[in-house]
Amino acid sequence: MVPRSGAVCSCSHAPSRPRHSGSFVDQRRTSLHTTKEIFNIRSPCLVPDVADRLVATVDDLEIRVETGAGHGAYHEDADYEAAGCSVVERDAAFGTDIVTKVAPPSNDEIERLGDGQVLIGLMTPLGRPALAQALAERGVTTLAMELVPRISRAQKLDALSAMSSIGGYRAAILAAERLPKFFPLLTTAAGTVRPARVLVLGAGVAGLQAIATAKRLGAKVFGYDIREPTREEVESLGASFVELEVDIDADEDESGYAEEVEKEKQERQPELLKPHIADADVVISTALIPGKPAPLLVNEAALEAMDPGSVIVDLAAPNGGNCALTETGTEVVAHDVQILSPTNLPAEMPVHASELYAKTVVAMIEEGLEEDTFAPDFDDQIFADACLTRDGEVRNDRVRRLLEPVEEEKG
C-alpha cells in the first residue's frame, strides 16, 4: 500500500508492538504502506510502476496505499491496485512495519508511529533536530534519505540529488518565465536581441542543473562557487566560471557541500560578487551550508545595481536565503528587482519528482533486504550514515550535537 505522503511496511500489527531493532525477522509477511502526503505536497512516495517492481522482487510482500495518495501525480487508486497494491483508508496506514514518506512526519503522524517501526523519508534532520528526538522517543527506526552517503554504490539511493536537480531545472524555467526579456539571442527584421545574462551562485547539483537548463534556453550563463574544483563542471556545461579578485576557496565536506569559510572571507563575498550580480539579468542562488543558515551572497547594494525587471530565484530560501531581502515562500519586489523564494520546486513537477523519489526509496528497501526480509546491516556505511534514530536514541552525531543544551559561559 502506498500513501502519498508516506509509505509503511508492516505485518498488520498495531503501532504499540514490541521493538524489532530495525529488522523484521520471524514474520510470515511484510507489509509496506504509503500514506497521503500533507503540507501541499503532490508527489506520492511510491508510484504504481515502481510498486510493481517491488512486488515482483520481494516474495509475500503486502503494499498498502492510502486512497487518493497518487492523485497529485495523476495516479488513480486503480493504477495501484493493478500494480498489486491494496488501497486503504488513512487509519489503516500506520499499522505496518515500514512507513515511507516524502516530507517529515507531522506531530499527528509521529503519534501514530510505534516502537520498532521503520520510517524512511526526507527528514530535514539538521534543520529540525527536535523531530529526530521525538521519533527516537517513540522507538522508531528512522532512515533519513538526506543522510545517505555520497559513495558510488549509494548513487541509486540519492534522493537529495534527484530533488535538487528538479529544483535547479524549475528555477531556470521560472526565471525565464518571469524575466521581461528573451533568454536566447534573437535576430529579427527589427534588429538583434542580445541573450539574457544568467548568474548561478553555487555549483552543486541544483546549481549545475540550473546552469545547464539556462544554457539550453539560450542565455549567456555564468557560474560561481567557492570550491575551485567545480570550475571544470561549470565550464563543461558551456558556462563561464566567475573568479573573484580575492581567493575565497573552500573544501568540500563528506556530503559534497562547501565547508563554511572564515567569517572575514564570508563577509567579503557579497561585495566582491556585486559587479557580477549587477551585470546579470537573472541570479539563481543555490548556496547552502548543512545545518546552518544559508550564506549571504546578494546584499541590498547589489540589488540596487541590477537593471529594473531583473529576477532573483533564491533556492536557499528555506534556510534563510542567499539574498538579503529574501522572504521565504513570498515574492518580493525591491529596487524594481523580482525576488522569488520558492520552498519546494520539485512539488511543481509531481510526475517525475514522485517517480525519481520512489526509485530511491525502493532502492533503500532493496538494499536492506535479506532473504525477502527487511533487515538492514547498520554496520554498512549506507545504513550507518542514513540512520537518524534507532533503539530509542538519536544516532546521527551532528543532530545529537544540535540537541545538546548550550552551556552557559561562566563568569
In the predicted model, is pLDDT for residue 394 greater than 70? yes
- Domain at 6-157+349-403: CATH code: 3.40.50.720
The catalytic position among 169, 224, 257, 357 is 257
Task: Write the CB contacts of 229 (distance below 8 Å, at least 6 apart in sequence).
Answer: 252
pLDDT of residue 248: 60
- Please confirm, yes or no, whether 12 is among the known catalytic residues: no
* Residue 313: predicted pLDDT: 99
The catalytic residue among 128, 150, 268, 400 is 150
Q: Please report the sign of the dihedral spanned by the C-alpha atoms of residue 74, residue 160, residue 142, residue 316.
A: negative
169 is catalytic: no
Asked if 357 is an active-site residue, the reply is no
- Selecting among 155, 236, 240, 381, the annotated active-site residue is 155
CA distance 25 to 376: 11
Q: Does residue 189 carry a pLDDT above 50?
A: yes
Rg over CA atoms, the chain: 23
Higher pLDDT, 35 or 328: 328
pLDDT at 247 over 60: yes
Return the C-alpha cell found at 365.
528497501
> How far is residue 264's CA from residue 107's CA, in Å, rounded to a whole number?
40
Q: Is 257 a catalytic residue?
A: yes
Question: For residue range 68-91, what is the model confidence (pLDDT) as tens digits?
Answer: 999 999 999 999 999 999 999 888
Q: Please return the burial class of 377, using the count of CB atoms within 10 Å of its CB with bins 0-12, 13-18 and 19+.
A: middle
The active-site residue, picked from 79, 97, 158, 225, is 158
Beta strands in 311-367 (DSSP E): 311-314, 332-334, 337-340
Report the pLDDT value the prediction gives residue 254, as an integer from 0 to 100: 56
CATH 3.30.390.10 fits 167-347, yes or no: no
Q: What stretch(es) of the chain map to CATH 3.40.50.720?
A: 6-157+349-403, 167-347
Strand 197-201 with 282-285, pairing: parallel
Contact indicator for 354, 326 with CB cutoff of 8 Å: no
Given the residues 31, 43, 161, 341, select the one marked as catalytic. Answer: 161
SS3 269: helix
Bridge partners of 198? 221, 282
How high does pLDDT run on average in the chain?
87
Say whether 155 is catalytic: yes
